[in-house]
Amino acid sequence: MKFGISKTTINLSICIAINLICSVQVQATGLSQVTVTQPESKSGSYSKPVVVKAYKQIRHGKYQEAINVLKPTLKTDPSNVEAHRYLAFSYMQIGRPADALNEASKVVENGKIELPHDAVTLGEAQFYTGKPKEAIENYREALLLNPLHIDARAGVIRCLMALGRFTEAKAICKQAAYNHQDEKGKTYFRKLLREIDNKTQIASTSFGS
């Protein structure tokens, strides 16, 4: 999705949500490679300068610097949802999913998820802390908000694989590979399909031995 953002909007934007775009390969940290984009605000209030600063640091891959900025902010403003959002994202990038889970949970503390990115961040944190059953529910919540969210779709598939539900995972993956519009997305799900086949074969061999 492309967002037309003027200079004024950037300076005054609120709710700079994180758009997780998972790569095909899982990195050495065990976390998916992601990039971040800045969508337009849904509401009419303004982001605090410290949050905008953290966003810029994240854009340049300076996740620890963003954490160092956001943590003191939350001591004085613990209800700052944007700060929790960026902190969760940054923790994921440096391989600290447990801390990310703590922050992501605060973003949706009232049980209502408004942005698919928040649901995906929470799902990622849950998945990488060994909670695929909880994670799959949040990935599905993201898909209700945005049925074309590739990260959420991939998250559902990965959770089903982790739960040993390979037949369901393969059916969803095949449909995603067929329906996805761009070649990069198709390639992503085709590779995931091969991974499912490999894991299915390993599971069958183990069961038969």
Mean pLDDT comparison of 27-36, 83-92, 174-183, highest-scoring range: 83-92
pLDDT in tens, 10-60: 333 333 333 333 332 233 223 344 445 443 344 433 458 888 999 999 999
Residue 161 domain-assigned? no
Angle between helices 183-208 and 166-179 (to 10 degrees): 160
- Per mean pLDDT, which range of 36-50, 55-69, 101-115, 157-171 is the poorest? 36-50
Residue 43 domain-assigned? yes
User: Whole domain around residue 99: which residue ranges?
Assistant: 16-135
Mean pLDDT confidence for 166-194? 92
pLDDT of residue 46: 45
- The residue behind tokens 């889970």 is 101
In this model, does residue 167 exceed pLDDT 70?
yes
CA nearest to 103, candidates 116, 119, 126, 87: 87
- Provide the whole-model pTM: 0.75
Q: Which two tokens stand for residue 136?
A: 């799959």
Q: When comparing pLDDT for 29 and 97, which is higher?
A: 97
Q: How much of the chain, in percent, has pLDDT values that exceed 70? A: 75
Residue 52 domain-assigned? yes
Work out the mean pLDDT of the chain and round it to a whole number: 79
pLDDT of residue 43: 41
Structural domain total, the chain: 1
- The residue behind tokens 């329906």 is 179
Residue 89 domain-assigned? yes
Residue 163 domain-assigned? no
Q: Which two tokens stand for residue 143?
A: 């898909």
CA nearest to 85, candidates 64, 72, 66: 66
Whether the CB-CB separation of 46 and 13 falls below 8 Å is answered with: yes
Residue 5 domain-assigned? no
- The residue behind tokens 């069961």 is 207
Residue 193 domain-assigned? no
Residue 81's CATH number: 1.25.40.10
Task: Let me know how long the chain is.
Answer: 209
- In angstroms, rounded to a whole number, what is the distance separating the alpha carbons of residues 28 and 114? 31
Gyration radius (Cα) of the chain, Å: 18
Residue 188 domain-assigned? no
- The residue behind tokens 């810029």 is 56
For 134-137, the CB contacts below 8 A with 24+ separation are: 135/159, 136/160, 136/163
